[in-house]
Structure 1
Amino acid sequence: MEPNEKLHNKNKTNPPETRKAARHQRKAAQKAERKTEKKRPTEEQKPLYNPFFAYKKRRFPIWQRLIALISLCCIALVVGAMLGYGGLGHRNPFAVFNPDTWQHIFDFFRTD
């Protein structure tokens, strides 16, 4: 039996006199039906007691996120140095890993 049939069967026994009364009766029947349809949470659905309120276990802990962030920053620094030295400086990009290259760069900053 569909929800509309329930409402129409109910209206046949005691038909309302006006449209407003019929609408009110129909809304009251739908509201009563919705109340019975509400499900109560079962034991599985109830959250366990947690002293940290709505704390959920993270997929990636904070320490893993920090390590990932630091490693990504290091990778970006190396790639940026290779692009800058090789692309803009028109030199071998792998010369960035040579300590003599860095010594030459630091010599520009030191003044005697």
Structure 2
Amino acid sequence: MGTNEKLHNKPKVSPETRKVARAARQVAQKAERLAPKKTDEEQKPLFNPFFGYKKRRFPIWQRLIVLTALCAIAFVAGTMLGYGGLGHRSPWAIFEPATWQHIFDFLKTD
């Protein structure tokens, strides 16, 4: 038997199996019809009227603010660690303008 014959020769389903499946489907549909109806609040989740998405727990604008704040905190912590810990200087010196002027002068050197 070739591979095409295996794909195209579907097993025969007996009529009894079809009747059993049909009866089970009808019983499930009847049970669904007889189930108690859900109230409007249970049935309708909150949706965005423009796109049909569910309402987010944290909106995008709040996520952007948190992301910006976390980036700023990481920048300050990284500069304090780099200048103070690796540079063997005071970590609080990064808040002085003279320190930043020295860093920019060092980077702009030709």
| Common topology (TM > 0.5) | yes
Ranges in structure 2 where 5+ consecutive residues have no aligned partner: 1-13
Summarize deviations over 1:24-51 as a string: whole Å, max 9, x none. Answer: 4433321221121224864521568974
Q: 1:37 aligns with which of 31, 38, 50?
A: 31
Higher Cα Rg: structure 1 or 2? 1
1:99 CA displacement: 2.1
Q: 1:88 aligns with which of 86, 89, 107?
A: 86
Partner amino acid, structure 2, of 1:62? I
Summarize deviations over 1:46-100 as a string: whole Å, max 9, x none. Answer: 5689742413322222322221111111111111111111222122212211222
Root-mean-square deviation (CA, aligned residues, Å) is 3.0
Percent of aligned pairs with the same amino acid = 57
Residue 27 of structure 1 corresponds to which residue in structure 2?
21
Ranges in structure 1 where 5+ consecutive residues have no aligned partner: 1-19
Report the 3-state secondary structure (helix = DSSP H, G, I; strand = E; otherwise coil) of the residue aligned with 2:54: coil
Higher RCO structure, 1 or 2 (CA under 8 Å, sep 6+):
1
Partner amino acid, structure 2, of 1:72? L
TM-score (norm. length: structure 2):
0.62
Whole-angstrom distance in 1 between the partners of 2:48 and 2:75: 42
